[in-house]
């Protein structure tokens, strides 16, 4: 049996619920099932776990609201159905969470939002703030303007990108199967659940088979999602969403579903990922105090510690941080553009708002987005 200690110790979970689980045999949303997951999420939160929900089901819910018996062929009709269904989806979550006094927030994003550096930082700041407020973000793809998940993923990839964005420890992909099998259980009675395998393992590719109907949300996209999540150190569990008390049982360390492991420690993985992401677009020169704070206490970089800046960077770009003697000490994603940085460098964070007329974050580079070199 695979040791589930890592799952048990995970503190930030991204939970993705697939379309097939959310609809009541084509008769609209399965409200009772949603209420069961919500009551389990309440238990997780009472145990100190932060939860981000990634929910599909907008297309399916929209189809039933519009009285469509079959999934339409055109992407524009799918998008229209998603726009209609999203209303019902968020209403249902909102109501279900209200019973536990938990607020929810609707977050519609797309893959570009999570790779464009500026939007990446904006999404990260908002989602982290929501988590600090004890709110459960309910994330879906913005299906009106993009079609990646409608066509291929049923939100598997999106959920992994959200796990990267928030440095989640665990990605839970709830599905209508028990987990991922080493061969098709419909043809092979000997088929066994895969468990405790590194997400990077190439054996998973053979086992994932084809993507199922239309290639949407099959095991192929789930393996891919697990690999993406592993980049920032998150483990992934693919597990049956209809198993009684599935989420609470996972938290208790029960051996359910398929655990695909990240072979890197979250911190190291995160930093490597960040470092490999981008070329630097500029340079900040730090005073001795700031260099010391960064290198010895792992804190964020504040504008007050910056002496000068070079380059034409914008918010979200990677910049190099150097000491007064020109030695590179760190790299990170900067919260303010070069022209904004010119105005606030050397200043205390309290003055940022009066100098710029607005304030994003206190830090010039947040410690989560900073890599020491």
- Could you say whether residue 228 binds ligand GLU (CB under 6 A)? no
Considering only 17, 51, 53, 58, the residue that binds ligand GLU (CB under 6 A) is: 58
Neighbours of 351 (CB within 10 A): 15
| CA distances, 182 to each of 122, 208, 274, 353 (Å) | 40, 8, 33, 57
Backbone angles phi, psi at 25, to 5 degrees: 50, 45
Tallying the residues shown for the chain, one arrives at 373
Task: Say whether residue 15 binds ligand GLU (CB under 6 A).
Answer: no
Asked if residue 154 binds ligand GLU (CB under 6 A), the reply is: yes
Counting residues that bind ligand GLU (by CB under 6 A) gives 15
Q: Which stretch binds ligand GLU (CB under 6 A): 54-62, 109-117, 287-295, 354-362?
A: 54-62
Is residue 143 near ligand GLU by the rule CB under 6 A? yes
Among 50, 110, 113, 141, binds ligand GLU (CB under 6 A): 141
Q: Is 45 exposed, middle or buried (0-12, 13-18, 19+ CB in 10 A)?
A: middle
Of 83 and 372, which CB lies nearer to ligand GLU in the complex structure? 83
Smallest distance, ligand GLU to C-beta of residue 192, A? 29
Site for ligand GLU in 66-95 (CB under 6 A): 82
Q: How far is the CB of 158 from ligand GLU (least distance, A)?
A: 8
**Is residue 208 part of the contact set for ligand GLU (CB under 6 A)?**
no
Q: Any idea which residue has 């930093």 for tokens?
A: 271
3-state secondary structure 90-140: HHHHHHHHHCCCCCEEEEEECCHHHCCHHHHHHHHHHHHHHHHCCCEEEEE
Comparing CA positions, the residue from 322, 302, 300 lying closest to residue 311 is: 322
Q: Are 305 and 286 in contact (CB under 8 A)?
A: yes
Q: In what order do the strands lie in the sheet with 12-17?
A: 104-109, 136-141, 50-55, 12-17, 170-175, 235-240, 258-261, 197-198
Site for ligand GLU (CB under 6 A): which residue of 54, 150, 230, 329? 150
* Range in contact with ligand GLU (rule: CB under 6 A) among 24-32, 38-46, 55-63, 194-202: 55-63
155 lines the binding site for ligand GLU (CB under 6 A): yes
Is residue 19 a contact point for ligand GLU (CB under 6 A)? Answer: yes
Least distance from ligand GLU to the Cβ atom of residue 19, Å: 4
Using CB under 6 A, list all residues that contact ligand GLU: 19, 56-60, 82, 140-141, 143, 149-150, 154-155, 216
């Amino acid at each position: 049996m695979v040791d589930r200690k890592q799952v048990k110790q995970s503190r930030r979970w991204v939970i993705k619920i697939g379309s097939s689980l959310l609809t009541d045999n084509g008769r609209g949303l399965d409200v009772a099932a949603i209420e069961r997951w919500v009551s389990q999420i309440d238990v997780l939160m009472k145990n100190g776990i932060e939860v981000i929900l990634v929910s599909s089901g907008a297309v399916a819910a929209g189809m039933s609201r519009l009285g469509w018996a079959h999934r339409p062929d055109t992407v524009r009709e799918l998008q229209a159905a998603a726009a209609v269904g999203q209303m019902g989806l968020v209403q249902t979550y909102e109501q279900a969470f209200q019973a536990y006094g938990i607020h929810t927030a609707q977050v519609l994003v797309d893959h570009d939002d999570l790779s464009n550096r500026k939007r990446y930082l904006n999404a990260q700041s908002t989602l982290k703030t929501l988590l600090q407020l004890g709110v459960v973000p309910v994330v879906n793809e913005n299906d009106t303007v993009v079609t990646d998940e409608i066509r291929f993923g049923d939100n598997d990839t999106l959920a992994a990108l959200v796990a990267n964005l928030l440095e989640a420890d665990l990605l839970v992909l709830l599905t209508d199967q028990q987990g991922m099998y080493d061969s098709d259980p419909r043809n092979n009675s000997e088929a066994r659940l895969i468990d405790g395998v590194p997400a990077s393992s190439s054996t998973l590719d053979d086992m994932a088979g084809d993507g199922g109907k239309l290639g949407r949300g099959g095991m192929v996209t789930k393996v891919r999602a697990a690999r993406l999540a592993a980049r920032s150190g998150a483990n992934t569990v693919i597990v049956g969403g209809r198993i009684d008390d599935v989420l609470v049982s996972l938290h208790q360390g029960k051996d359910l579903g398929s655990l695909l492991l990240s072979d890197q420690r979250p911190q190291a993985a995160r930093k490597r990922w960040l470092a490999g992401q981008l070329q630097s677009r500029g340079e900040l020169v730090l005073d001795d105090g700031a260099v010391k704070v960064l290198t010895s206490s792992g804190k964020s970089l504040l504008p007050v510690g910056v002496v000068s800046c070079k380059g034409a960077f914008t918010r979200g770009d990677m910049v190099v941080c150097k000491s007064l003697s020109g030695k590179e000490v760190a790299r990170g994603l900067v919260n303010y553009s070069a022209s904004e940085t010119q105005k606030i460098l050397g200043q205390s964070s309290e003055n940022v708002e009066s100098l710029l007329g607005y304030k994003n974050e206190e830090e010039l580079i947040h410690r989560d987005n900073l890599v020491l070199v």
